[in-house]
Amino acid sequence: MKGNSTGWRGTAAKVILPVALAVVFVLYTGFLDGNPGVASAEWADRPWHLFANAFPALLCAMLLLVLTRRALLSFALAFLAQGIVLAVSAIKMKNLGSPLLPADFRMVGQLKNGGLHLLGGYLPTNPLPYLAIAATIALIVLLAKYEPPLFARRTHGRRLASGVALVALIGTLFAGLPAWAHMYDKDRLGMQPWSAASNAGYNGVVTTLMQFRLQNAGKKTKADAGEASRFIASTDGALRQHMADAAANTRQTPDIVIVQSESFFDPSVIKGLQEQDFAPNLHRLAKHASFGQLHVPTYGGGTIRTEFEVLTGLSLRYFPTMQFPYLQMHAGVMPGMVRALRAHGYETVAVHGNDPGFWNRTAAFRALGFDRFVSQKDFPANATKNGEYMPDSAMTDEIMAQLKNDGPPRFVFAISMEAHGPYDKSTIANTAERDAIAVPDGISDDAKLQLRNYVYHMRHADAELGRLADLLKKRERPTLLLFYGDHLPALTETYAKAGFTNGRDMLTQTVPYILIDAHGDGPAPRHDDLAAWMLPGRLMEQAGVHDDAYYALTQVVAPQLAALTRAPDAPETSEDAQLKYTDVSMGNVAMLRMKNKLGPMVAQYTPLDTSMMARQGGDQEDAAAAGVRQ
């Protein structure tokens, strides 16, 4: 009887300890998550929400328990891993206003390509988080050495069966198997798919990760070719007229320079700064150039989203699962502006003073059709930094070095880095100049420092815009210069507390673009707002390249669709029936374009003399040219 009692108690202890640890784990996950909807205090009212938010890590803890046979060690390891995920999400939320999302895990592969240095700048300087991690690791080491096993090593196959089952559960969960959608069902937990930040506040970070992972699981958006064809036919008159008007531009072929300026925008839109002129060169040049506001598909980061739209003319609005396009592109030949210009005899060069592998640009630029990629290693070794990254002055020098007065025309696409965040750690050469920058009242000292650091570098970008425009004006060859910001800088606290003079929030703000015709021998300047994916059509028409019906179509629909482009976490804009039809139809067109299947639908709009265009030879370019007309 005594033996049975001892065995019963031993078995109960082996069950009670993991269960108790699981309950503590769920409650502490709510505390560490920090979002009100899954706070530990909500355990009585929202137990399922707290459990769902901790469930993936609980599964990992149970698997570790099966492998190590030590309960405290297993839960400590799971807690450390989950704590790191939640901490990274908190850092992203602080800087970008959005929690960690499934696509962000693609960044892990970019750490070796300069990403560790860039992203490491956002880590906290306060030693407490690192001390907490060190203490947790020390505890784990002690538990691994001294904690006794909870059950025997040999269990007649039960450990093996449990381990296989747990691996299968974890594997299918992280793979986003649609069956898991029942657990994270939006009707049971609630979901705000239009705002990851709001969803995390209500359901927690981990649940948000799972819901956004599962919402598109097993779904593949297919283009409706019939609807795309009908839409193009409905625009026939406007499309033909637009292409005829563009064909009247018979200018001398210009060189083309694009500057994608890191985080460039006009801070005077912030309340309290509206009386200051932060971009005198931009405003000076805008008086005699095409100028407007640009709707971009990202906020605070994700440069390649805007970059992709500009280089391809494709709106990421129509590819919702493509969060980081350069990391998700699979096409060997990507149709876009680069290949279109190559088909017209241009040599195409990309310039970027950073690691060429970051954001997978080396492979992506090859797919997009660039002839050469001038990256950090190709810049002068003595280029003096005025901050953490390559200065815009060095980029201007490199752009001018790539332009020649003889040979074929050049297309130079330059990506700046000087104004890149984080802005609380930027190395400043002239602190007196930085500290003299006026900032609005009502924001913290940290926010003031970040804003001053940003404006300091942003002014250099404006100065280099002025210098580059003046240098191009003196060239013998006609040259077009397109300059635009890729997104707003991540000054989240300043925006939240000061607000904007136009009444919009930070996720719907625009950035400026300017298109300068250095010799003024092309079409007259135009002042209107565009979306990033509409820029290549506008630029090529200014250059006299007007044989691609797809780009002409982007200009025909530009006034209607431009404002729909916004950061992924921004609330959706209401659309009336006509706008919805145009939006959906343009989505079908874009998907066909991406797959190089649009050609037959727009062939009737292709000018008859396109075969006379200068083209670079080679079988690969011939294959690419087939996509150029798509």
Same domain, 445 and 526: yes
Most confident of 257-266, 372-381, 430-439: 257-266
Same domain, 104 and 245: no
Q: Is residue 225 part of a domain?
A: no
More confident residue, 12 or 286: 286
Q: Which residue has the tokens 């030693």?
A: 127
Q: Is residue 404 part of a domain?
A: yes
Identity of the amino acid at 389: Y
Same domain, 265 and 202: no
If one counts the domains in the chain, the total is 2
pLDDT tens for each residue of 302-330:
899 999 999 999 999 999 888 888 877 76
Same domain, 243 and 317: yes
Same domain, 253 and 167: no
Contacts of 32 (CB under 8 A, 6+ apart): 82, 83, 86
Q: Is residue 475 part of a domain?
A: yes
pLDDT tens for each residue of 326-350:
877 765 778 999 999 999 999 999 9
pLDDT at 132 over 90: no
pLDDT at 382 over 90: no
Same domain, 199 and 243: no
Same domain, 301 and 162: no
Please give the pLDDT value at position 12. 67
pTM exceeds cut of 0.85: no
Please give the pLDDT value at position 453. 95
Q: Residue 8 half-sphere exposure, CB side, CA atoms within 13 Å?
A: 5
- Which of 216, 250, 267 terminates a domain? The answer is 216
Q: What are phi and psi of 534, to 5 degrees?
A: -95, -10
Q: Say how far apart CA 310 and CA 442 lie, in whole Å.
A: 37
Please give the pLDDT value at position 127. 83
Q: Say how far apart CA 523 and CA 540 lie, in whole Å.
A: 12
Single out the residue of 221, 219, 225, 220 nearest to residue 592, CA to CA: 225
Q: Is residue 221 part of a domain?
A: no
**Residues 551-566, mean pLDDT to the nearest whole number:** 94
Crossing angle, helix 47-68 and helix 158-174, to 10 degrees? Answer: 130
- Count other C-beta atoms under 10 Å from residue 138's C-beta: 10
Contacts of 293 (CB under 8 A, 6+ apart): 510, 511, 512, 513, 529
**Residues 19-23, mean pLDDT to the nearest whole number:** 91
CATH classification at residue 543 = 3.40.720.10
Same domain, 199 and 240: no
403 confidence band (pLDDT: 50, 70, 90): very high
pLDDT tens for each residue of 422-473:
898 777 888 899 999 999 989 999 999 999 999 999 999 999 999 999 999 9
Beta bridge partners of 16: none
Beta bridge partners of 258: 413, 482
Q: Is residue 226 part of a domain?
A: no
Please give the pLDDT value at position 368. 94
According to DSSP, the β-strands at 530-531 and 290-295 are parallel
**Residues 217-245, mean pLDDT to the nearest whole number:** 88
pLDDT at 623 over 50: no
Q: Is residue 250 part of a domain?
A: yes
Q: Say how far apart CA 307 and CA 532 lie, in whole Å.
A: 8
Same domain, 199 and 242: no
Q: Is residue 1 part of a domain?
A: no
Please give the pLDDT value at position 15. 78
- Count other C-beta atoms under 10 Å from residue 99's C-beta: 27
- Which of 160, 187, 216 terminates a domain? The answer is 216
pLDDT at 628 over 80: no
pLDDT at 615 over 50: no
pLDDT at 159 over 80: yes
626 confidence band (pLDDT: 50, 70, 90): very low
pLDDT tens for each residue of 27-69:
999 998 989 999 988 888 889 999 999 999 999 999 999 999 9
Same domain, 396 and 503: yes
- Which of 153, 186, 216 terminates a domain? The answer is 216
Burial-class residue 249 by CB neighbours within 10 Å (0-12, 13-18, 19+). middle
DSSP state of 112: G
According to DSSP, the β-strands at 410-415 and 347-352 are parallel
Q: Is residue 545 part of a domain?
A: yes
2 confidence band (pLDDT: 50, 70, 90): very low
pLDDT tens for each residue of 160-191:
898 899 999 999 888 888 888 888 887 788 87
Percentage of residues in the chain with pLDDT exceeding 90?
56
Start-to-end CA distance of the chain, whole Å, equals 83
Q: Which two tokens stand for residue 494?
A: 């300043």
pLDDT at 11 over 90: no
**Residues 598-618, mean pLDDT to the nearest whole number:** 63
574 confidence band (pLDDT: 50, 70, 90): confident
Same domain, 277 and 197: no
Q: Say how far apart CA 200 and CA 209 lie, in whole Å.
A: 9
- C-alpha dist (Å) from residue 421 to 323, 379, 591, 596: 20, 21, 33, 37
Domain housing 46: 8-216
pLDDT at 619 over 50: no
Please give the pLDDT value at position 220. 67
Same domain, 580 and 440: yes
Please give the pLDDT value at position 178. 81
More confident residue, 12 or 129: 129
pLDDT at 193 over 80: no
According to DSSP, the β-strands at 372-374 and 410-415 are unpaired
**Residues 485-497, mean pLDDT to the nearest whole number:** 95
More confident residue, 421 or 151: 421
**Residues 111-137, mean pLDDT to the nearest whole number:** 74
Query: DSSP string covering 296-336, please?
Result: -S-SSS-HHHHHHHHHH---GGG-TT-SSHHHH---SS--S
Q: Which residue has the tokens 């129509």?
A: 318
